[in-house]
Amino acid sequence: MGNTVELKLKERDNAPDFTAATQDGAQVSLSDYKGKNVVLYFYPRDDTPGCTKEACGFRDEFGALKKKGAVVLGVSTDSVKSHEKFARKHELPFTLLADEDKKIVEAYGVWGQKSFMGRKYMGTHRVTFLIGPDGKIKRIWREVRPV
């Protein structure tokens, strides 16, 4: 596919802090979740087949993740309004963050060249980070494939 991404961040690095708008229009920062495990997942676009499948997977596992004290944050470069519609349509119980200025995707190194059917373009790579209560990256899943 030609969509592998070279991440600058690695496990045990400090996770870059950020502030972004949620699907409800509130502002949240990564530092708001200090002391908790955070599943920070990046996805290309709201309401597309793979992204919907991935979001619904997190929705279906949300209870188990919450029981373990984890927070789920989904990030794409879509707007607050797009996130609000996506979250409502699929009954997503977790927070979606609008990164329209691409500061978060760039800080995490998930914005880059992709290709689809021979066409090259810039976009968000599907990568998930597990950030520990200490703010350090515990685990990285590269090029996640929704099933």
What are the catalytic residues? Answer: 51
Residue whose C-alpha is closest to residue 112's, from 125, 101, 127: 125
What is the Rg, in whole angstroms, of the alpha carbon atoms belonging to the chain? 14
Q: What span, in angstroms and rounded, lies between the C-alpha atoms of 83 and 61?
A: 20
Q: What span, in angstroms and rounded, lies between the C-alpha atoms of 43 and 77?
A: 9
DSSP state at residue 94? S
Q: What span, in angstroms and rounded, lies between the C-alpha atoms of 78 and 102?
A: 10
